[in-house]
Chains A and B, each alone.
Chain A
């Protein structure tokens, strides 16, 4: 069983829709949770990070962490065609802060 599970999609939504992306994890040692966006043939770029449980908002993006359920989410409001990319969740354990454990990634397509 993988430490981090993520639905690979693809997920197709119309422009302007609210997108919900999710990951589950099995190890309660994970403390920092991140969402990366990866365009085709590019390296991942950090969108948001959160520490422990709670919500964090940045523009059209909201990240949620529920440690009791070992479940994290990324919401994208008013989705745009430029949001079409693969979204990767990632997390780090206490004491091994720099080693990122990634999910499989969810491919998102926002259509006009």
Chain B
């Protein structure tokens, strides 16, 4: 079945460091891919998405490219800030029939120190 694998956290970085959070997936068909962010004490927010191969999603300085050949959707940011401290979730859509279910990774906690 479909699945998402994220790198385990926690990830701890200093401000202005480069961030990569790895995400790989297993899926049949042509899923859409998502990154969600959950700030402390809040619900999840859609950070970015890509709906087909080679698409690049970007938002708030974060980027991820849908790579079908490596089945990956790694999240990157060139210079992190303390305010980026959150839990990041990779997810893919299961577009089979009416089963409108997102398949979620386990989440990666990021802590950015000043």
Q: A and B: partners?
A: no
A residues sitting closer than 8 Å to B (CB atoms) are: none
B residues sitting closer than 8 Å to A (CB atoms) are: none
